[in-house]
C-alpha cells in the first residue's frame, strides 16, 4: 500500500504523454552510459564484499560472490520486503561454504557502511547547496533527517565494533536473555545463530580491512553519483554538481521503506522530491525517475537470473531463504 500511495503521488498530476515525450527526447548515448555505469556498481560491491566476508580467514573467490551479489539484487527487484538481502546471504552460503549467519551479518555491515557513505555525501550537498535547517521535504527538515541518519548509522557501527572486539560479554548477555524467554533447545539454537553473526563482523577487527571497506563504499556511491549525472545530461537537467549526492541519499532513505518488489513508488517519489529542491519541474523529474529506474532495473535482474541458473538455484529457494538463519535441529 505504501508503494502504491507513493507511486500515485509521484505520477498523479503528470500526463503520460509528457513522460513519453521527455523519454523520447532524451539523449540515448548519455542514457546508455548512465545504465552501464550504474550496473558497474555491482562488481564494485562484490570486490568490497571480499573484504567483509572470509572463510577461515581466507578471502573468498570473486566469481561465487559475484553470483551471490547478482542474485541478491535481482531478488530485491523481483521479491517483496527486501528479500534480496536474505537471498544474497543464502546464495553465498551455498556457493562458498560460509555460514548463512556470517554472510547475513556481513551484508548488515555493508548496509551500515552504505548508510554512512550516502549520509557523508548528503552533508556535502547540504553544505555546497547552502540548505538551511528550515528546508523540508514532506514536513521533515533535510538537515535534521540527515543528522538523524548519521547518528543512527554511527551508533550501529560503534555497537558492532564494540561487540566484535568483546564478543564474550555480548554472548553472555545474549545467553542470559534467551534463557529467560526461550526453551533450552531453542535458546541454544538462537545462540548458535548469534555466534555465526559475530563471525560475519570479523572485518571490523582489522583497521586495514575496515579502511578498505570504507574506501570501496565511497567508490560504490561515487560511481552511482556518476550514473545519475550522466542521466541528468541525457534529460537536459542542469543542477548543482552535488545534486546527485542529495538525490541518491533521499532515494536510499525512500527504498528503506518496506515496499513492493523493485522499490517502484518510493524511488519515483524520492526522485521527484529531491529534484524539486533544485527547481526541476515535476514532469521532467518523474520522467527521469521512471527511465532511470527501469533502465537500471533490467540489467541486474537479467544478470541475477543468469547467476541463479548457474548456481542451480530457483526463486522458490530464495523465497524460503529467510528461514535459513536458524541452524538445523540437533
**Burial (CB count within 10 angstroms: exposed 0-12, middle 13-18, buried 19+), residue 21:** middle
Average predicted confidence (pLDDT) for the chain: 88
Q: In terms of DSSP H, where are the helices of 130-265?
A: 142-165, 167-181, 184-199, 207-235, 243-255
| Selected residue with higher pLDDT from 328 and 171 | 171
The rounded distance, in Å, linking the Cα atoms of 278 and 243 is 8
Nearest alpha carbon to residue 92 among 48, 128, 131, 55: 55
- Give the CB-side neighbour count of residue 117, counting CA atoms within 13 A: 22
> What are the DSSP calls for 18-33, one per residue?
HHHHHHHTS-HHHHHH
Taking the chain, what is the end-to-end CA distance rounded to the nearest angstrom?
41
pLDDT of res. 63: 95
- Give phi and psi for 58, each to the nearest 5: -100, 145
* C-alpha to C-alpha distances, 157 to 51, 154, 204, 214, nearest whole angstrom: 16, 5, 9, 12
pLDDT of res. 47: 95
Report which DSSP code applies to 275.
Answer: H
Examine the pLDDT at 261 and tell me if it is beyond 90: no
Determine the distance from the C-alpha atom of residue 84 to the mean position of all C-alpha atoms in its chain, rounded to a whole number.
10
What are 149's three cell numbers?
541518519
Mean pLDDT is lowest, of 159-173, 210-224, 264-278, for: 159-173
3-state SS, residue 137: strand
CB 95 within 8 A of CB 311: yes
Give residue 188's pLDDT band: very low, low, confident or very high (50, 70, 90): low
> What are the DSSP calls for 32-64, one per residue?
HHHHHHHHHHHHHHHHHHHHH-EETTEEPPHHH
pLDDT of res. 320: 67
Percent of the chain with pLDDT over 90: 57
Task: Give me the residue label for grid cell 561515487.
Answer: 222
Q: Over the stretch 80-113, which tens digit does the pLDDT of each residue have? A: 777 889 999 999 999 998 988 889 888 988 999 9
pLDDT of res. 328: 42
Q: What would you report as the CA-atom Rg of the chain, rounded to the nearest whole angstrom? A: 21
CB 99 within 8 A of CB 93: yes
Examine the pLDDT at 4 and tell me if it is beyond 90: no
Examine the pLDDT at 318 and tell me if it is beyond 60: yes
Other Cβ atoms closer than 10 A to 38: 22
Percent of the chain with pLDDT over 70: 92
| Cβ contacts of 284 within 8 Å, gap of 6 or more | 22, 235, 237, 275
Examine the pLDDT at 295 and tell me if it is beyond 90: yes
pLDDT of res. 326: 47
3-state SS, residue 268: helix
Amino acid at each position: 500500500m505504501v508503494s502504491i500511495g507513493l507511486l500515485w503521488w509521484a505520477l498523479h498530476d503528470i500526463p503520460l504523454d509528457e513522460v513519453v515525450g521527455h523519454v523520447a527526447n532524451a539523449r540515448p548515448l548519455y542514457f546508455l552510459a548512465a545504465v552501464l555505469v550504474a550496473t558497474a556498481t555491482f562488481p564494485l560491491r562484490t570486490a568490497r564484499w571480499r573484504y567483509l566476508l572470509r572463510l577461515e580467514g581466507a578471502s573468498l573467490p570473486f566469481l561465487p560472490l559475484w553470483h551471490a551479489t547478482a542474485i541478491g539484487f535481482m531478488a530485491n527487484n523481483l521479491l517483496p520486503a527486501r528479500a534480496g538481502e536474505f537471498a544474497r546471504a543464502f546464495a553465498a552460503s551455498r556457493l562458498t561454504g560460509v555460514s548463512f549467519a556470517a554472510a547475513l551479518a556481513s551484508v548488515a555491515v555493508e548496509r551500515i557502511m552504505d548508510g554512512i557513505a550516502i549520509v557523508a555525501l548528503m552533508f556535502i550537498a547540504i553544505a555546497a547547496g547552502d540548505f538551511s535547517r528550515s528546508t523540508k521535504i514532506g514536513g521533515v527538515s533535510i538537515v535534521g533527517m540527515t543528522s538523524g541518519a548519521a547518528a543512527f548509522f554511527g551508533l550501529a557501527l560503534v555497537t558492532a565494533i564494540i561487540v566484535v572486539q568483546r564478543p564474550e560479554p555480548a554472548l553472555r548477555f545474549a545467553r542470559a536473555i534467551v534463557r529467560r524467554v526461550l526453551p533450552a533447545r531453542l535458546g541454544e539454537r538462537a545462540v548458535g545463530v548469534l555466534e555465526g553473526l559475530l563471525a560475519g563482523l570479523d572485518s571490523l577487527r582489522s583497521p586495514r580491512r575496515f579502511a578498505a571497506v570504507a574506501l570501496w563504499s565511497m567508490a560504490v556511491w561515487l560511481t552511482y553519483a556518476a550514473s545519475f549525472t550522466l542521466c541528468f545530461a541525457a534529460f537536459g537537467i542542469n543542477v548543482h554538481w552535488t545534486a546527485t549526492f542529495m538525490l541518491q541519499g533521499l532515494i536510499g532513505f525512500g527504498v528503506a521503506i518496506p515496499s513492493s518488489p523493485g522499490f517502484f513508488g518510493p524511488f519515483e517519489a524520492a526522485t521527484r522530491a529531491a529534484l524539486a529542491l533544485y527547481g526541476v519541474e515535476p514532469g521532467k523529474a518523474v520522467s527521469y525517475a521512471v527511465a532511470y529506474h527501469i533502465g537500471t532495473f533490467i540489467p541486474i535482474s537479467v544478470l541475477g537470473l543468469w547467476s541463479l541458473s548457474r548456481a542451480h538455484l530457483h526463486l522458490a529457494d530464495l523465497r524460503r531463504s529467510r528461514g535459513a538463519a536458524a541452524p538445523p535441529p540437533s
